[in-house]
Amino acid sequence: MPHIDVELERLREKLLEMWDLVDYQLTSGRDAMMNADHELSQRIIKLERKVNSFDIKIDRMCENFFALFTPVAVDLRAVLAILKINTNLERIGDTAEGMARFVCKLDRPFDPELVELTKVLVMYDEALAMFRECRTAFVKDDPKHAKQIIKMDKALNKIYRKSDVVIAKYLQANPDRIPEGLALLSIIKKLERVGDQVTNMAEEIIFYREAKVVKHRRKKKKKE
């Protein structure tokens, strides 16, 4: 295998390691949320440091790769994509940490009725699915797969858009649960962010494989 491919592979592997780490943060975040598990949340928060060091490491590796290999064409796009996916992953990690901090403040699990009303679990599962599918798309270098992921984001947005009305209604009925409701609203917002970030990552995969810029396109269509 050519030297440049060896180096590129190392870079991808490093990114996937980070991916797994963030995956763990997200997945455990769901359990922690459902069970109001403070201990698990603390662990997620601590992992953030590790994710950050991955972020720096991968940034440095990309910098070296640019400096030493002066990549062009597909190699150039690959490294650019890795660099951006790295940033997005780090942010998803941040988001997971943020959710965990909310969980830490809970003294009991969310009211199942509220959970049911807001469809937060559905949203969480959808976000997790997107995140994992995106990893698969990256591993397989599959832009079609990545395009489907972008579509999945719509479901998240739908739930997110309804969530404030749903929660407001619920809080009117249950004023004693205001902190709980607000925490959930924040978590839903964060999950929406995760969806957006995964969408960005998918767009990077498309850019890397097909050299097409797909981001910001949907917004244009909307304007039309």
Partner 1 sequence: MTKKYSKLEAINLDAYYGDFHALKGINIAMEEKAVTAFIGPSGCGKSTFLRTFNRMNDYIDGFRIEGQILLDGRDIYEKDIRVDELRKEVGMVFQKPNPFPKSIYENVVYGLKIQGIKDKKILQEACETSLQQAAIWDEVKDKLDKSALALSGGQQQRLCIARALAIQPSVILMDEPASALDPISSAKIEELIYDLKKDYTIVIVTHNMQQAGRVSDHTAFFYMGELVEYAKTKTMFTSPKDTRTQNYITGRFG
How far is the C-alpha of 194 from the C-alpha of 26, rounded, in Å?
10
| Contact predicate 89/213, CB 8 Å | no
Nearest to partner 1 of 4, 36 (CB atom): 4
Residue nearer to partner 1 on the CB measure, 64 or 136:
64
Binders in 62-121 for partner 1, by CB under 8 A: 63-64, 67-70
Q: Shortest approach of partner 1 to residue 83 CB, angstroms?
A: 14
Between residues 64 and 148, which has the closer beta carbon with respect to partner 1? Answer: 64
Q: How far apart are CA 190 and CA 136, in angstroms?
A: 23
CA angle in degrees (0–180, nearest 5) for 100-102-104: 70
Find the shortest distance in angstroms from Cβ 60 to partner 1: 8
Vertex 2, ends 7 and 204: CA angle to 5°? Answer: 50
* Least Å from the CB of residue 2 to partner 1: 6
Min dist. Cβ of residue 18 to partner 1 (A):
20
Q: Taking the complex as a whole, how short is the minimal distance between the CB of residue 137 and partner 1, in angstroms? A: 29
Least distance in angstroms from the C-beta of 208 to partner 1 = 21
The Cα 151–Cα 202 span in angstroms is: 10
∠ CA(181), CA(187), CA(189), 5° rounding? 105
State both tokens at 169.
């209604």
Q: Which is nearer to partner 1, 7 or 23 (CB)?
A: 7
**Nearer residue to partner 1 within complex by CB, 32 or 62:** 62
Residues in region 36-55 near partner 1 by CB under 8 A: none
What tokens appear for 160 in the block?
A: 């997110």
Pairwise CA distance, residues 62 & 47, whole Å: 23
Please name which of 116, 109, 100, 151 lies closest in space to residue 130, comparing C-alpha atoms: 151
Q: For residues 71 and 143, which CB has a smaller minimum distance to partner 1 in the complex?
A: 71
Give the number of residues in contact with partner 1, rule: CB under 8 A: 9
Residues forming the site for partner 1 (CB under 8 A)? 2-4, 63-64, 67-70
